[in-house]
Amino acid sequence: MQKLIVTASYWLGLLCTLIAVVLRALNIFGILTATVVQHGRNIWFLMFFRGAILLFLIAIATACYAWMRGEKT
């Protein structure tokens, strides 16, 4: 079960990072601009960035937990 959690959270974190980079690049070039950015109002790159951080931390914590218990992930 830990291997599934580590794998899924890693790949979802990578996907969130990619989406955040693409949205930020679109914002830099002026293609995607939000006039008012409020939490919960617009889909913004920081939401994906924070999600990626959370998913990477879950992957690291789960892998460390399995490693400390002597299981092979």
**pLDDT tens digits along 26-69:** 888 878 766 555 666 667 788 889 999 999 999 999 999 988 88
Supply the pLDDT for residue 41: 65
In this prediction, residue 69 carries a pLDDT of 86
- On whether the CB atoms of residues 29 and 50 are closer than 8 A, the answer is no
Which residue carries 């990619």 as its tokens?
18
pLDDT of residue 33: 66
Average pLDDT over residues 9-21: 93
pTM above threshold 0.85: no
Rounded-to-integer distance, Cα 9 and Cα 15, Å: 10
| Sequence ranges of the domains in the chain | 2-68
- The CA–CA distances, whole Å, from 6 to 19, 40, 41, 42 equal 20, 28, 31, 29
